[in-house]
Amino acid sequence: MIYLDHAATTPVPREVADAMYEVLTNQFGNPSSQYQLGLDMKKQVEGWRKTVADALGCEPKQLYFTACGTEGDNWAIQAACWQNRHVGRHIVTTAVEHSAVLECCKWMEQQGYEVTRIAPDGKGSITAEQVLSAVRSDTALVSVMMVNNELGNVYPIADIAKGLAAKNPKTLLHTDAVQGFLKVPFSAKALGADFITISGHKIGGPKGVGALYIGPRVRNPRPLLAGGGQEGGLRSGTEATAQIAGFAKAVELRTEDLADKLAHMAELKAYAVERLTAIPDLTVISDGTAPHILAVSLAGWPSQNIVNDLSAQGLCISAGSACHQGKPSHVVAALKLPKKTAGGVIRISFGPETTKADIDACADALKNHHDNRMPML
């Protein structure tokens, strides 16, 4: 099998699985228990929190473990709106956010909020000026993702943060950095966002664990769930210690020689562009500069047919976000591409383990699909 869908999820290294197994079998204490087994686990959890916080560039006390990126996004949006409930009931986001943000914003609309969704240009780009021009005196929250999960476009979060400080300093800023964490360089302290969402399974960690950074401008953040008071009283529920251990180990492994890994992925992406654009009718559709995501279109050939054909050949690519489960992508729709181009969009995404041989195999399979399948769009 050749796996080229790292934006959907990533393979779990043996060291991560071993760290989780040790916790599941020998270090299974509840961190809230007051006997030694529980106290030892509490100390372990705080060590793992520091590992992730150091990689994110924040203080451990600013990092709260969650079950996933979706939870972090929902928590951030609702907490920001609660804090700024007296500022106003307006939210600014983009039309190409992950569904975890867009669906939560729809829910907020049902609570009486007005949502402005910034549209990208035809290459998926969104500028800080676009976002800031939509901000009003009653804007409670701006939520803009760091890296688009389907296109690889990197959005100017630091510039948005600086602009907000000048235009409306009460407005809080959230960024979904699930595709940015340890993929593009940034530090929470320098970025300026008030909330940053990350997820474990996008960097070699297990599914079922993520984290939310909450910055110093957020006062008494409202918990998403009420319960036993874990995570400083802000995220109740017994800590998923094995998943947290795996998350921290994945961070350790990914941060080793990180610059070399990012350079390797960027080199692979450039090589993939060279190989794939030699295929007739195939074009790159995005200006995305993230090193691990490449969106292309085989115009006229339905994307799901391409995915199915390559899957039969042992290659894993995507027709877009895995969260769409085969449905048309709102991200591609926002680009307003010609029908044949939009219908043929596929996403290829890389990891540190990806090789040029993997790219060659993908290019050969796509060329074979083009030459031996009739266009249908």
Cα separation of 65 and 52, whole Å?
10
Q: Tokens 């530090």 — which residue?
A: 187
- What angle do helix axes 356-372 and 258-276 make, rounded to 10 degrees? 20
Please tell me whether residue 140 adopts helix, strand or coil conformation.
strand
DSSP 81-128: HHHTTTT-SEEEEETTS-HHHHHHHHHHHHTT-EEEEEPP-TTS---H
Cβ–Cβ under 8 Å, residues 310 and 362: yes
323 classed as catalytic: yes
- If we measure between CA atoms, which residue out of 329, 246, 244 comes closest to residue 10? 246
- If we measure between CA atoms, which residue out of 292, 289, 303 comes closest to residue 366? 303
Residue 356 CA, chain-centre distance (Å), reads: 25
Q: How far is CA 115 from CA 92, 140, 160, 164, in A?
A: 6, 10, 17, 17
- If we measure between CA atoms, which residue out of 74, 95, 77, 93 comes closest to residue 85? 77
Cα separation of 42 and 33, whole Å?
9
Instruction: Count other Cβ atoms within 10 Å, centred on residue 151.
Output: 28
Active-site choice (58, 68, 323, 362): 323
Tokens (6 digits) for 95 = 């039309």
Cα separation of 328 and 319, whole Å?
9
User: Which residues form the catalytic set?
Assistant: 323
